[in-house]
Amino acid sequence: MPSSTTARFRKLRTCPRTETLLTFSADAGGVGRVAEHMRFCDFCGAEAHLLSRHAAAEADALPSAAGEMPASLRRLAEDILAEPSYNRARFAESLMEVERLTPETVSSEQ
């Protein structure tokens, strides 16, 4: 793998998703586009190496089941999302101000 500088050591748009790298590191095959990409991308090579070393440890851990969200947390989230955003409220106020200052030429002509 060609070395890269620290500033260029980052995930790019052309890089495969982490899930793809995890599947790639779990399979011993290593052929195809992912393998070709990793030959030239230090970041993905390092990420795949990290995933391959820690995937086994996670497999021994207790399985985590996605349970339901607690009712109090769900209610809090719904209340927060139901409140109007400050930006939306400000936008609405500016629209009303524009309407107040704009002469009603279109509606009075018809």
Answering whether pTM is above 0.75, one says no
Q: What angle do CA 98, 100, 104 make, to 5 degrees?
A: 95
Instruction: Note whether 21 and 47 are within 8 A (CB).
Output: yes
What is the residue range of 89's domain?
A: 71-103
User: Is residue 56 domain-shared with residue 21, that is, in the same domain?
Assistant: yes
Residues 51 and 75 in one domain: no
Same domain, 93 and 47: no
Residue 55 shares a structural domain with residue 20: yes
Question: Do 18 and 43 fall within a single domain?
Answer: yes
16, two tokens: 């495969």
Taking only the tens place, the pLDDT of each residue in 26-71 is 665 556 888 888 888 888 888 888 888 776 655 555 555 667 778 8
Number of domains making up the chain: 2
Q: Mark whether 79 and 56 lie in a shared domain.
A: no
Measured CA to CA in angstroms, residue 90 lies from 81, 85, 87, 96, 102 at distances of 17, 9, 5, 10, 18
